[in-house]
Amino acid sequence: MAALQYSQIVTFFLLFCFFISVSHGRVPPAGADFRVKAVNLGGWLVTEGWIKPSLFDGIPNNDFLDGTGLQFKSVAVGKYLAAETGGGTIVVANRTSASGWETFKLWRINETTFNFRVFNKQFVGLDKAGNGINIVAVASTPGIWETFQIVRKSDDVNRVRIRASNGFFLQVKTEELVTADFQGNGTWADDDPSVFLITSAGGYQGEFQVTNGYGPVKAPLVMGEHWRTFIVEDDFKFVAGNGLNAVRIPVGWWIASGPNPPKPFVAGALRALDNAFFWARKYGLKVIIDLHAAPGSQNPWEHSGTRDGSQEWGLTEDSINQTVAVIDFLTARYAKSPSLLAVELLNEPLSPGVSLDTLSKYYKAGYDAVRRHSSTAYVILSNRLGPADSTELIPLASGLTRSVIDVHYYNLFSDVYSNLTVQQNIDIIQTNRTAQLARITSANGPLVFVGEWVAEWEVSGATKEDYQRFAAAQLEVYGRATFGWAYWTLKNVVNHWSLEWMIKNGYIKL
Ligand SMILES: *[C@@H]1O[C@H](CO)[C@@H](O)[C@H](O)[C@H]1NC(C)=O
Ligand SMILES: *[C@@H]1O[C@H](CO)[C@@H](O)[C@H](O)[C@H]1NC(C)=O
Ligand SMILES: *[C@@H]1O[C@H](CO)[C@@H](O)[C@H](O)[C@H]1NC(C)=O
Ligand SMILES: *[C@@H]1O[C@H](CO)[C@@H](O)[C@H](O)[C@H]1NC(C)=O
Ligand SMILES: *[C@@H]1O[C@H](CO)[C@@H](O)[C@H](O)[C@H]1NC(C)=O
Ligand SMILES: *[C@@H]1O[C@H](CO)[C@@H](O)[C@H](O)[C@H]1NC(C)=O
């Protein structure tokens, strides 16, 4: 074994000293002049289909992804299937219109094979406690009895038949009796009791859907390609060269699972995050790690990695502990990087599904996990969405060093913004947002971060100048947030949601 040269040892020592000095010297002091001017790297390490729809193009039957709600109208009786009382008993075919109890959410086994989850969360299946052929919705977990194949008519994909695991097709015998005992191929005609017309009540295009949609062989290849190409070194150069000083990077809990994350998630995002830290350092940018998707999902939206819209994070202590372990893992990995600015413990927990009590316990444990590895990283606590007081985290955060409250401001997603003029939207920024920020800002309390905003609204036919004024108003107001802000997002096929596009086309200047 060759011994190290003296000069090499000296070099190592000097590098070591440099590393120590940068890792302890560059994180800006709380409440000082430094303000985060960041952009989110949305749709990169946590999939959101609307940001990059082409990611889903190669999935067979990509309108049958996990969580998609299907409604089945029997052509023979002209009525919809329903889980009677929303689930827990029989499945009937006596509804003239379709809504919650008539919507069956897919759990995808593969491109043709599914479980159907009903309103009360049971799964449709054969009545195994009875004659084995009547259709019921009673199982709390799906097994072979709850597994069905959807067969589409070759020249009309919305005409389907459903084959049960006993090999027979479902048929509507009467409006109150649906059975799996239809033999033969049927005619696909309008009097065929095994034929249903489907309508979709919508679905999800998140990480669960894309990985399960491609399946275990293709998903690692498709995701690997996406992670390598969607955000590249040049993007960090662009961000640094256009007046921004940080990136907020949404990640999912599976990133901490090593080479074999729980199915259907696939490994590889961690390497992309390593690259992000490398490029951030090279271009002098800070990184905010944002846990965007927690085990069980902390909200019902696709960006929390949900399978079917169920929000189950925090219902068990185990899901909280698992999440703390993810924070521990990520902070340990990047604590020594001079680029690590902050760790955001959980994005957009939704009230009332996530209670303040549960969230506070988690935030305290998550904060401790960060502090085990870093005394300087800021710890960001996202306010709850839904019915929640925007000041509710201040008592907790005030007792924590270098803590930050994250709020997201969109003039969207509520009827309140539907019919406003350009000027009314701008007034909301200057008046309401200013007041909202003031409510959560205090001299000795946590810093405040507008971690997501966008220059998009419900105004139709707005001019470029209108957008420029709207963006400028937000930059001005959010520029006063004591921690700073982050635009949602850097890249998006929808132009105004792409900060890259907004900068390149002169809508936003920093
Ligand atoms: C559908 O059938 C079930 C079971 O007999 C019955 O309880 C329910 O009232 C019926 N609903 C309608 C709308 O006819
Ligand atoms: C889908 O899964 C079912 C049940 O495991 C299996 O019988 C079928 O061959 C699979 N189909 C495809 C296309 O993989
Ligand atoms: C039934 O389906 C099988 C397999 O697809 C096919 O070979 C057969 O011709 C069909 N029979 C009728 C009567 O359509
Ligand atoms: C969760 O973590 C806490 C603190 O480490 C521990 O006391 C508790 O037993 C854990 N609970 C579970 C379900 O693992
Ligand atoms: C917005 O305007 C449309 C068309 O005038 C109207 O139908 C709708 O109810 C309005 N929405 C709200 C929230 O006021
Ligand atoms: C903005 O503030 C005004 C005045 O307090 C209030 O009337 C209005 O409802 C608020 N609008 C929004 C969207 O919060």
Query: Which CATH number is 185's domain given?
Result: 2.80.10.50
Q: Total domain count for the chain? A: 2
Same domain, yes or no, for 295 and 328?
A: yes
Would you call the peptide bond into 29 cis, given omega within 30 degrees of 0 as the criterion? no
The answer as to whether 59 is a domain residue is no
pLDDT at 472: 98
Please, what is the average pLDDT of the chain? 94
Quick check: 16 pLDDT over 50?
no
Same domain, yes or no, for 465 and 375?
A: yes
| Ligand 1 pocket member 351 (CB < 6 A) | no
Mutation choice for ligand 5 from 419, 421, 424, 459, CB with most ligand atoms inside 8 A: 419
Whole-prediction pTM: 0.92
Quick check: 7 pLDDT over 80?
no
CA angle 214, 215, 220 (to 5 degrees): 80
| Ligand 1 pocket member 225 (CB < 6 A) | no
Quick check: 20 pLDDT over 70?
no
The rounded Å distance from CA 363 to ligand 4 centre is 15
Which atom number of ligand 1 is nearest to the Cα of residue 95?
13
The 10s digit of each residue's pLDDT in 420-437 is 999 999 999 999 999 999
Would you call the peptide bond into 113 cis, given omega within 30 degrees of 0 as the criterion? no
Same domain, yes or no, for 132 and 279?
A: no
Quick check: 6 pLDDT over 80?
no
Quick check: 24 pLDDT over 80?
no
3-class state of residue 374 by DSSP: coil
Strand partners, 385: 350
Same domain, yes or no, for 196 and 234?
A: no
Going by alpha carbons, the residue nearest to atom 4 of ligand 1 is 176
Residues in contact with ligand 6 (CB, 6 Å cut-off): 416, 428, 431-432
Alpha helices per DSSP H over 341-400: 356-373, 394-398
Q: Which ligand is nearest to the CA of 458?
A: 5
Mutation choice for ligand 1 from 92, 134, 178, CB with most ligand atoms inside 8 A: 92
Going by alpha carbons, the residue nearest to atom 3 of ligand 6 is 432
Quick check: 508 pLDDT over 60?
yes
Spatial distance between the Cα atoms of 357 and 303, rounded to a whole number of angstroms: 23
- Tell me how far the alpha carbon of residue 71 is from its chain's centroid: 25
Greatest extent of the chain over all pairs of C-alpha atoms, in Å: 89
Which atom number of ligand 2 is nearest to the Cα of residue 215?
14
| Ligand 1 pocket member 176 (CB < 6 A) | yes
Spatial distance between the Cα atoms of 292 and 297, rounded to a whole number of angstroms: 9
**Positions of E strands within 189-245:** 196-200
Query: Which CATH number is 325's domain given?
Result: 3.20.20.80
Provide the b/e sequence for 215-231 (b: ≥16 CB within 10 Å).
Answer: beeebeebbbebbeebb
Quick check: 5 pLDDT over 70?
no
Same domain, yes or no, for 140 and 46?
A: no
Quick check: 101 pLDDT over 60?
yes
The answer as to whether 238 is a domain residue is yes
Q: Band of the pLDDT at 112, cuts 50, 70, 90?
A: very high
Q: Which of 200, 231, 261 is the last residue of a domain?
A: 200
Residue type, 364: K
Percentage with pLDDT > 70 across the chain: 94
Same domain, yes or no, for 218 and 346?
A: yes
Residues 400, 340 contacting (CB under 8 angstroms): no
Q: Band of the pLDDT at 33, cuts 50, 70, 90?
A: confident
Strand partners, 114: 108, 148
| Ligand 4 pocket member 321 (CB < 6 A) | yes
pLDDT at 184: 75
pLDDT at 267: 98
The 10s digit of each residue's pLDDT in 43-73 is 999 999 999 999 999 999 999 999 999 999 9
Residues 342, 380 contacting (CB under 8 angstroms): yes
pLDDT at 74: 98
- Tell me how far the alpha carbon of residue 354 is from its chain's centroid: 16
Same domain, yes or no, for 356 and 432?
A: yes
pLDDT at 392: 98
Spatial distance between the Cα atoms of 262 and 80, rounded to a whole number of angstroms: 36
Same domain, yes or no, for 180 and 247?
A: no
Least Cα distance to 16 among 8, 28, 5 occurs for 8
| Ligand 4 pocket member 362 (CB < 6 A) | no
pLDDT at 32: 59
pLDDT at 185: 72
H or E element: which one contains 489? none
Same domain, yes or no, for 118 and 49?
A: no
Q: Which residues contact 269 (CB under 8 A, 6 or more apart)?
A: 45, 223, 227, 251, 252, 254, 255
The 10s digit of each residue's pLDDT in 246-301 is 999 999 999 999 999 999 999 999 999 999 999 999 999 999 999 999 999 999 99
Range of the domain at 76: 68-200
